[in-house]
Amino acid sequence: MKAQAVETHAASNLTILAADEQEAILDFQQSILRAVLSRGDSRSMVVDICHLAEMLLPNAVATVMLQDRVDGKLYVYVSPSVPDAAVRRLNGLVPGPGGGSCGNVIYRGAPQFVSNTFADPRWSDLREVAYDFNLCSCWSVPVLGPDDNIIGTFALSSFEHRSPAAFHRKLLDTGATLIGIVLSHAQWQDSLRLYGRAFEAAEEGMVVTDAEQLIVEVNPSMQRILGYTRDALIGRTPALFASGLHPEAFYASMWQDLSDAGAWSGEIWNRRKDGEVFPAWLSIKAIPGADGRILNYVGVFTDLSSAKAAESAIQHLSTHDALSGLPNRTVFRTRCEGRIESGVAFALVCLNMDDFRSVNALLGLAAGDRVLNETARRLREVLGAADSACRWNADEFLVMTPAAELGALAALCARLAASVGIPLFIDGRVLSLSASQGVAQYPDDAANFDQLLAQATSALEQAKAAGKNIVRYARTKANDTAREHFRIAQDLRRALAKREFELHYQPQIDLTTGRLVGAEALLRWRDPDRGLIAPGVFIGIAERTGLIVDIGAWVIDTACADAARWAALGHRDLRVSVNVSAVQMRRGGFAALVDAALQRHGLSPTQLDLELTESVFMDDDAAMRTAFMDLKGTGTCLSIDDFGTGYSSLAYLRRLEVDRLKIDQAFVRELTDDADAAAIVSAVISMAHALNLVVVAEGVEDAATMLHLQALGCDEAQGFHFDRPLPVVEFEQRLAQRAAAGHSRH
């Protein structure tokens, strides 16, 4: 439609041009429209437009600049005849009254025709560029996007002072319209490719039919659900996999809803290729054409097979303890022995209720059973999917956990003890119970399950003898390490009270301009006895004890205060990034805390970037989803940190309202030496840009890696190649140095 509009508009205005000028304009637009129809490369077509315009205006060069949607600045898209040195000086052009012809097009929203760039005030910011490259005059017009919004400019710069004739204005107008068509066409093709990938990656089965209900496309999940190949389904109707269990009235009602509302959803029984009948939730959407007639139907299937659920229920009854609902002794032993046969390390926790006999004696066996059932429920609540528990004896529970690191193991035991210690109400009485725990680890403490159980039981007896409600380990060294972790936790409380923490800032660099655009705030602990302590020593303990909530609040408040101070010094565009723990997100009121810090220091939300790991974004817990949406409501930037080490998928990323993506340094550091790492980084950058995300690479240690990232189109980077994490005073000195260097260049 836009191509037709170009031809109609051109024909109505050609009468004001001479015959040879009319012919030139028509040849100009027709050559480009033919290229669009042949699906040529969009950048090459824009280059061709520039070359053709330069042929029609001798002694001039053509330039196309596009406005960046993130920073609002103009960057050269193509300028085939302009020297690279000039392109570099034009990139990052800020729209404004002195921003040249192109900058004023964006600023004023109208064409700009400057006949003398050496004197016109509209070129006050670019005067040196005009002098250095002899750009005597410059005419620029807007380039419009699909929604008729200005997305960039098309300019002709001449090496002589002159004003545009009617032919030149028509040339610019036609060229800008053609460029808009080319870029919109490319964007449309990119969208089609993205939708295609989403269709292929969807977990739900999807089927598309034409208006006559003949299947024209199915995705891989639909083929898997039904057991048919794509070729076996194309050209058939959905009657192929109908179960035959629904009466005609069911389908009549379905089609009536589709006719009335254009959509239908409900439960339906279907039949797989192997004959198995299964329930599915089906959603159908009618897709109309421009004239309102139905062109296609799209169906989305979710398998609701209840047969497997029934089998699972039967299996559960045969493998679980009837009182507690936990796996029985046989299943638990089998799981532990399976890990031993595989040589996989794990720990066995033997947990015993302290003074449980008094409950039975005071309240009776039935009350005791209720206590055990509630204890089992609490254990399940604490344990993750990788852990397993069972009721081994009357009031003794066993927990198998893959947690090999002693700190994580100690944290698990602390959570188990805290959960058991929550008061419960039985027959009008409040019971406060506790539990002692003994821990043994495979393979360090034993070679088989029976030996491991004996070691854990022995450690439990030591815990009971030491006063109950404590944890003992089979090895003396493990007990020493646990005590060290406890000491660090105590010292962290003191450090928080006495403000022994400090922030160091590592600069983040724009790879296109070389400007310092942000800084990541990195926590350090200056202990009076041990000196400066890196976060790897204490962050895990802070998270396991919950101290990370108060420490994290201090970090956010301090980072906001520092950023506000830098803004007052003139660095208003500088962004500060802060790492956020999942523990902070799970605590209520985190978004309110962030918003309060921003308000307290008068900091713009866009200057604060909160970095969260993939696991936080992928957490499907309702409370976490609410916390995430509340955080988005503050207006702060959100980044996925250490991308590539988790399990984010393209389909999931499309649903996340994030702004930035940080590539994990493990891939960045191998970029120049490992072809697989390079391929991963390239794919991540392309994927992120398709989703309009800014890409940041961390761990850039040398110039070769930086250049490789620039070639791949990475937006920003940080690492020792640019600067180490700096104490706040040194970082502010670095800001002053860069500001002085920038002024000296101007």
Sheet with strand 74-78: strands edge to edge: 74-78, 60-67, 150-158, 137-144, 112-114
**Per-residue buried b or exposed e for 234-246, using 16+ beta carbons within 10 Å of the residue's own CB:** eeeebeebeeeee
Average pLDDT score over residue span 185-212? 74
| CA-closest candidate to residue 298, choices 288, 312, 311, 287 | 287
In contact, 176 and 141? CB cutoff 8 Å: yes
Inter-axis angle of helices 535-545 and 476-497, to 10 degrees? 90
Q: Given a cut of 90, is residue 509 above it in pLDDT?
A: yes
In contact, 705 and 671? CB cutoff 8 Å: yes
Of 231-245, 432-446, 628-642, the least confident? 628-642
Q: Given a cut of 60, is residue 10 above it in pLDDT?
A: no
Q: Given a cut of 90, is residue 634 above it in pLDDT?
A: no
Inter-axis angle of helices 19-37 and 2-13, to 10 degrees? 180
Scanning the structure block, which residue is given the tokens 């429209």? 33
Average pLDDT score over residue span 345-358? 90
CA distances from 176 to 59, 64, 236, 326 (A): 20, 9, 47, 70
Q: Distance between CA atoms of 503 and 109, rounded to whole angstroms?
A: 44
Q: Give the model confidence (pLDDT) of 208-228 as tens digits.
A: 999 888 999 888 988 988 899
Sheet with strand 435-442: strands edge to edge: 388-393, 396-401, 346-353, 435-442, 471-473
How many Cα atoms sit within 13 Å of 174 on the Cβ side?
32
Q: What is the pLDDT of residue 78?
A: 92
Of 265-269, 613-617, 648-652, the least confident? 648-652
Question: Quick one: pLDDT band at residue 1, thresholds 50, 70, 90?
Answer: very low
Q: Give the model confidence (pLDDT) of 701-718 as tens digits.
A: 999 999 999 999 999 999
Q: Give the model confidence (pLDDT) of 549-597 as tens digits.
A: 889 999 999 999 999 999 998 888 899 999 988 888 877 788 899 999 9
Scanning the structure block, which residue is given the tokens 């999807």? 206
Question: Quick one: pLDDT band at residue 507, thresholds 50, 70, 90?
Answer: very high
Q: Given a cut of 90, is residue 31 above it in pLDDT?
A: no
**Per-residue buried b or exposed e for 532-562, using 16+ beta carbons within 10 Å of the residue's own CB:** ebeeeebbbbbbbbebbbebbbebbbbbbeb
Q: Can the peptide bond before residue 111 be classed as cis, meaning omega within 30 degrees of 0?
A: no
| CA-closest candidate to residue 545, choices 410, 405, 406 | 410
Q: Given a cut of 90, is residue 631 above it in pLDDT?
A: no
> Into which CATH architecture does domain 202-307 fall?
2-Layer Sandwich (3.30)
CATH match for 320-474 among 3.40.50.300, 3.30.565.10, 3.40.50.10470, 3.30.70.270: 3.30.70.270
Question: Which residue intervals of the chain bear CATH 3.20.20.450?
Answer: 491-745
Q: Given a cut of 50, is residue 109 above it in pLDDT?
A: yes
* Length in residues, the chain: 746
Q: What is the pLDDT of residue 4?
A: 43
**Per-residue buried b or exposed e for 81-114, using 16+ beta carbons within 10 Å of the residue's own CB:** ebeeebeebbebbebeebbbbbbbbbbeeebbbb
Q: Given a cut of 80, is residue 202 above it in pLDDT?
A: no
Q: Give the model confidence (pLDDT) of 638-667 as tens digits.
A: 888 877 655 455 545 666 678 888 988 888
Q: Given a cut of 90, is residue 87 above it in pLDDT?
A: yes
CATH class for the region spanning 491-745: alpha beta
For 151, the enclosing helix (H) or strand (E) is: strand 150-158
Q: Distance between CA atoms of 723 and 708, rounded to whole angstroms?
A: 18
Question: Quick one: pLDDT band at residue 195, thresholds 50, 70, 90?
Answer: low
Q: Kind of pairing, strands 429-431 and 435-442?
A: unpaired
Q: Kind of pairing, strands 660-663 and 637-643?
A: parallel
Q: Give the model confidence (pLDDT) of 666-688 as tens digits.
A: 889 888 888 888 888 898 898 88
Q: Given a cut of 90, is residue 122 above it in pLDDT?
A: yes
In contact, 524 and 499? CB cutoff 8 Å: no
Question: Quick one: pLDDT band at residue 397, thresholds 50, 70, 90?
Answer: very high
Mean of pLDDT over the chain: 83
Q: Distance between CA atoms of 353 and 433, rounded to whole angstroms?
A: 7
CATH match for 2-194 among 3.40.630.30, 3.40.50.920, 3.30.390.50, 3.30.450.40: 3.30.450.40
Q: What is the pLDDT of residue 14?
A: 41
Percent of the chain predicted with pLDDT > 70: 86
Q: Given a cut of 60, is residue 290 above it in pLDDT?
A: yes
Question: Quick one: pLDDT band at residue 30, thresholds 50, 70, 90?
Answer: low
Of 156-165, 646-655, 732-741, the least confident? 646-655
Q: Distance between CA atoms of 105 and 155, rounded to whole angstroms?
A: 10
What's the token pair of residue 53?
A: 């315009």
Question: Which residue intervals of the chain bear CATH 3.30.450.20?
Answer: 202-307
CA distances from 511 to 35, 271, 439, 731 (A): 33, 55, 51, 19
Question: Which residue intervals of the chain bear CATH 3.30.450.40?
Answer: 2-194
